Amino acid sequence: MELRSLLTDERAVSPVIAVILMVAVTVVLAAVVGATVLGAGQGVEPNPAPQASFGFDFNESSQKVDVNHRGGDRIEVGENAQRVAVVSAAGTSETWIDSPGQSISAGETKEDVDYGAPEATVRVVWEGAKNDSSATLAQQQAPA
């Protein structure tokens, strides 16, 4: 057996390269599937907003609205929230809760909130504890 022919013989090169490439593709595919299944690519909200249902009872003659918490999560000012307000597109805003320990539960009502103008959109707005997030929990347009 000549040493020169051993170094220049390329008969097994193709199968070896194919095996190496197949292993590399398998590792990459496994990493992608693993990251997807484990949720590694998803961002987590720092302060997820509560899920709640609200009703709006408009008084057209006084341009005031009563907002009622109909169900869903109990909303509390504390570690995750600093304020819940009723806000109108006409520029009015009235705080519902903003002190630690205050909460809103199903059945509670914020009464006589001035909505400012006919057809103004009234929203219930939740604000995160560090002003890092906010969410509109419910909204409805006032009658004309």
As to burial, measured by CB atoms within 10 angstroms (0-12 exposed, 13-18 middle, 19+ buried), residue 114 is: middle
Structural domain of residue 91, as residue ranges?
52-141
Residues 8, 67: one domain? no
Q: Note the pLDDT of residue 7.
A: 65
Q: The pTM is what?
A: 0.65
pLDDT of residue 41: 55
**Whether 70 and 132 share a structural domain:** yes
Verify that 23 and 56 share a domain, yes or no.
no
Q: Does any domain span residue 77?
A: yes
Asked if 142 and 122 touch (Cβ cutoff 8 Å), the reply is yes
Domain containing 58 — which CATH number? 2.60.40
pLDDT value at residue 139: 95
Say if 43 falls within a structural domain.
no
Sequence length of the chain is: 144
Asked, for residue 26, whether it belongs to a domain, the answer is yes
Q: Does some domain include residue 62?
A: yes
Q: In this structure, what is the dihedral angle of CA atoms 132, 136, 43, 35, given to the nearest 10 degrees?
A: 170
Residue 44: inside a domain: no
Q: Three-class SS of residue 33?
A: helix
Average confidence (pLDDT) per 10 residues, the chain, 144 residues: 66 77 94 82 66 95 94 89 88 89 94 90 90 88 90
Question: What pLDDT score was predicted for residue 94?
Answer: 92
Structure confidence at residue 51 (pLDDT): 93
Give the chain's domain count. Answer: 2
Task: State residue 6's pLDDT score.
Answer: 61
Q: Quick one: pLDDT at residue 10?
A: 65
pLDDT on residue 46: 60
Residue 78 has a CB neighbour count (10 Å cut-off) of 12
pLDDT of residue 144: 83
Are 58 and 19 members of one domain?
Answer: no
- Print the SS3 string covering 53-115: EEEEEEECCCCEEEEEEEEECCEECCCCEEEEEEEECCCCEEEEECCCCCEECCCCEEEEEEC
Residue whose C-alpha is closest to residue 76's, from 46, 96, 55, 53: 96
- Residues 16, 72, single domain; the answer is no
* 141 three-class SS: strand
Q: Considering the domain boundaries, does residue 47 fall inside one?
A: no
Looking at the structure, tell me whether residues 9 and 33 fall in a common domain. Answer: yes
112 within some domain: yes
**Domain membership flag for residue 67:** yes
Do residue 67 and residue 33 come from a single domain? no
